[in-house]
Structures are given as C-alpha cells and as structure tokens.
Amino acid sequence: MSSNNQVIIFDTTLRDGEQSPGASMTKDEKLRIARQLEKMRVDVIEAGFAIASPGDFASIKAIADTVTGSTICSLSRALDADIDRAAEALKNAASGRIHTFIATSPIHMKYKLQMTPDQVVEHAVRAVKRAHNLISDVEFSLEDASRSDLDFMCRIIEKVIDAGARTINIPDTVGYAIPEEFGHTIEQLLQRIPNADKAIFSVHCHNDLGLAVANSLAAVTAGARQVECTINGLGERAGNASLEEFVMAIRTRKDLLGLETNIDTTQIVPASRLVSSITGFPVQPNKAIVGANAFAHESGIHQDGMLKHRETYEIMTAQDVGWQTNRMVMGKHSGRNAFRARLNELGATFSSDAELNHAFTRFKELADKKHEIFDEDLLALVSDVQAADAYEKYKLSSLNVTSQTGETPVAQVSLMVDGVEHKAESAGGGPVDAALKAIEAIVHSESSLELYSVNAITSGTDSQGEVTVRLEKSGRIVNGMGADIDIIIASAKAYVHALNLLDANVQKAHPQV
C-alpha cells in the first residue's frame, strides 16, 4: 500500500518499448538511453528480458554493470531458467530487480498457458520464491490483469507477497480498461488483500484505446505508487503510457492529486530526442510535451494572449520539460500584435500604423500561399514594403510571362511611371531575361546589369525567392532587392527597385531632374 505521495517511475523503454516492431536497439544504444534515464532520475529501468537473446542479456548486464543511479531490472517468465538468467545479468547491479510475471486472465490461462488457475498460482509462487532467493527486490506482474477475475487476483497476490514479492504490478496488457473501472480495481485489491500493505502496487498500461496515461492516473489516485511507462509512449502495438505525459500530469496537477515523482523534467525532451533518433520513430508534431508543436502558438488570438500573459495558453513552460523556449509561429492565423512583436524582436520597426497595416496585408497574402512564414520571409517582406512606401518613380503593376518547352519566353509588363501606366512586351533568352527586357523597353535606363542573383530564403519548394539585381549607371552602383514565391516576379521587383534607387540618387544629386 502507498506509504507516501511519491510515485515510483519505472521506465520500460528498453524492454516493452523495444517490443515495438522495428524498434530494436543495440547494446551501445541501450546503454546511451539508460544513462539518459539515470540522468532524468528514473527510479527503475527495465533494461530487457534476459532470456530473450544473448544480445538482450549483454545489454542488461552492461547497464547493470555501469548505471548506478537507478534500479536495473530484467523481465522473466515464471520459469526457473528465465529467473536464473535474469539474476546472472544483474549480478553486478548496485541495485537490481527481477520482474517475473504470469498471465491470470481466463483467456490467457486457458488458451496460451494451457494451465489451470491452481497451476498458475503454483508457478507464480515458485517463481517469486526462486527470484527472492537470488535478489531481494522482486516484482510480480499479473499479465492481462484488467481481464482477470478480481477474487483470483486477490488470491494469487496474497500468496506472491508471502513468497517475497515487494512490488505487485497490475498490467492492462491489452489496453482494455477504462479509467474509472481501472481505478476501482486497484482500490479493491488494496482493500481486500490482507497483506497488501507489504507491497507497492504498480500499473503498466497499454494504449490500445488511447487511455494508457488516463488509466495510470486513475490507478495512482486509487493508491498505486509505481507507474510503468516509456519515453514517447513507445511499446508493443499502440504503445505504453508515455512517461512524459504521466510525469507532467502529476507535476502540473499537484494541486488536485497531491503526488510527485523524482523525475528531473528538464531531461524529458533530450530523452525523447535520443529515443527517437536511435529507434528512427519520429515524434508526431502534436504529441503532448515532446512534439514540435507542443509549445508553438500560431493563432492570432492565442499569440495576443501569450504576449499579454503566458499562462493564458500554457499550463507549463517549455523550459520545464527541456525545450529552450516556446515558439510563436507566424502563419495565416496570426494577428497584428504578434506580427509587430516578432518584427520588433528581429530589429525591424514601423514608422507608422499605415506601414504596419500595409506590411500585415502583404504578410496575410503570403501566408495564404506558404505553409509557414519564417523570420527571413518577414524581413524580406518588410524591406519590400518600406522600399515600396518610399517615393517611387516606377511601380510594377502586372507581369505576365509565357514560357514553354521549345518556345522563346515572352513577357508582357505593365509599369507605372510617375503615376502613368505604360505597357511593353519583349522576348528573352529565359523568362527572367524577357521580363527585365520588357521593363527596359519602357524605362530605357541606359544602366548596365552588373549582378543578378537568386536565393531561396527558406528551404522547401514553396520558399520565397530573394533576388538581388545590381545596376550601374554613370559610375553609380545600386543593389535592388525583391522577394516573392514566384522568382520571375521577385526578379522584376528587384529590377524595378534598383531603377528607383538609381532615380533616387539622381534626384538627390540633381533635384530638378
């Protein structure tokens, strides 16, 4: 029975987690994860199933030999050979545990084990006694407990506690339980088993119905004091209760539950990343706590709330769980307040509300075309708007370029010159060449093109292209810039920008020109 409010965290990433198809890990990889779990102050690390393979044995042994800050545990069936192999792997552990189990549900006993309930009790007691002779810390699990008969569970648990088990684990092996029902089972076991106070009750929940963490919380509310879980919720089929979700629920709702764990929560994100990189299982972006979007805010109303007071939309800080910071993501749902705040952070300021509104309108247009707006997009957009808001002799009204395989590209451009619309058409070596020639057909700038370069501002095929055009005229050199997700338009904008700069230089030098 629980003696205090501390919940023991038993991590089984290296055992049940590894049972996820495709998640096999080498000894060195398991050792790296075990060290991270130790650093995170996990109480018990289930390092593997010693009899399963020579590799599993070697991994458990390597972890038991070197990791001293957590108890190291091996799983074993209720069989002598399994228990002896587990004890051998753990023999150098500073603190070792044998975890032996047998199924107690009618369906498992009848079809899988092909044993009577009495034979199952006999195997369980014999296994616990044998384990207890080899190591003091013995855990016993009733596999498929959530589909087992309550009276039978009381009977077998009482006997294995007498045989030396000090942790009794109640697994929801097939993820069948519902929180209220599961909590009730734990409560009943604690009340009805006469020697229940000699053991710590534990739960091990699977996520087949997406309820593994909810069931674990119901169990600790009912008196269980150990929870078995995995990093990123890895595990057989739909996985196990996720360590990060359970631990952060306990921490965040201490007001309600009054419980705590030993976990250093700032090590959660590093642990999640390590497990993901080793197993090759990506973490979904919207995964609680460790998903890339767990602390990202895109909607204008949320961002505005966050700017005014963080707790309006966050129940924990990103730093609490090991992220460096939360994120304001600029996108089509963002509002003016977040837009201005982000640009101020980037060092860009607006000279007037009109300028802000103009930039914000352009930002929304861009956001409709692009999935995510990066800082570089914002800066390009603002310098574009600020350049456009300055007096401009030339303004690009429209551009239409036809470019087909085997055909010469042709551009039709419409340009405002001192407020009067001019149109021209030109062919060119490529679509950019055609566009710039069409502009020149109107402007006759007599400048020479010294440089043309195009860069993708961000990665991805929907990136904005940022074009730089350098023009020289009578010894004056200017750099025009333009950005757009269409690089032909970006090129035309950059060219027009450069023409305006040349014109501005002339105006400054000879105001009456």
Ligand X SMILES: CC(C)C(=O)C(=O)O
Binding site for ligand X (CB under 6 A): 16, 101, 141, 143, 169, 171, 173, 204, 206
What is the rounded distance in angstroms from the CA atom of residue 272 to the CA atom of residue 9?
Answer: 16
User: Of 71, 93, 91, 62, which Cα lies nearest the Cα of 12?
Assistant: 71
Is position 444 annotated in a ligand binding site?
no
What is the rounded distance in angstroms from the CA atom of residue 212 to the CA atom of residue 216?
Answer: 6
**Torsion over CA: 345, 347, 350, 356 (sign):** negative
Task: Give φ, ψ of 461 to 5 degrees.
Answer: -75, -10
Please identify which residue in 42, 52, 220, 487 interacts with ligand ACO, judged by CB under 6 A: 52
Q: Which stretch binds ligand ACO (CB under 6 A): 72-80, 305-313, 321-329, 415-423?
A: 72-80
Binding mask 135-154 for ligand ACO (x = CB under 6 A): --------x-----------
Cβ at position 146, least distance to ligand X in Å:
9
User: Closer CB to ligand ACO, residue 111 or residue 450?
Assistant: 111
Cβ at position 121, least distance to ligand ACO in Å:
12
Interacting partner of 113 out of ligand X, ligand ACO, none (Cβ under 5 to 8 A depending on kind): ligand ACO
DSSP code per residue over 5-68:
SBPEEEE-TTTTGGGSTT----HHHHHHHHHHHHHTT-SEEEEEEGGG-HHHHHHHHHHHHH--
Interacting partner of 204 out of ligand ACO, ligand X, none (Cβ under 5 to 8 A depending on kind): ligand X
Neighbouring CB atoms inside 10 A of 13's CB total 33
- Using CB under 6 A as the binding rule, whether residue 57 contacts ligand ACO is answered as no
SS3 148: coil
Please identify which residue in 1, 113, 178, 424 interacts with ligand ACO, judged by CB under 6 A: 113
Is position 240 annotated in a ligand binding site?
yes
Cβ at position 8, least distance to ligand X in Å:
15
What is the rounded distance in angstroms from the CA atom of residue 68 to the CA atom of residue 89?
Answer: 15
Cβ at position 331, least distance to ligand ACO in Å:
42
Interacting partner of 141 out of ligand X, ligand ACO, none (Cβ under 5 to 8 A depending on kind): ligand X
Q: Contact at 8 Å (CB) between 374 and 384? A: no
Structure token digits, residue 303: 């961002």
Cβ at position 137, least distance to ligand X in Å:
16
Q: For the stretch 425-452, what's the b/e string if a residue is b when 16 or more beta carbons lie within 10 angstroms of its beta carbon?
A: ebebeebbbbbbbbbbbbbebebeeeee
Cβ at position 46, least distance to ligand X in Å:
9
User: Of 275, 329, 266, 318, which Cα lies nearest the Cα of 295?
Assistant: 318
User: Of 213, 327, 234, which Cα lies nearest the Cα of 280?
Assistant: 234
Cβ at position 166, least distance to ligand ACO in Å:
19
Is position 206 annotated in a ligand binding site?
yes
Binding mask 223-262 for ligand ACO (x = CB under 6 A): -------------x--------------------------
Task: Give φ, ψ of 244 to 5 degrees.
Answer: -65, -40
The DSSP output letter for 316 is: S
User: Closer CB to ligand ACO, residue 112 or residue 369?
Assistant: 112
Please identify which residue in 1, 58, 79, 134 interacts with ligand ACO, judged by CB under 6 A: 79
- Using CB under 6 A as the binding rule, whether residue 110 contacts ligand ACO is answered as no
In the annotated binding site for Mn(2+), the residues are: 16, 204, 206, 240
The site for ligand ACO (CB under 6 A) is made up of 16, 19, 49, 51-52, 77-79, 101-102, 112-113, 143, 173, 236
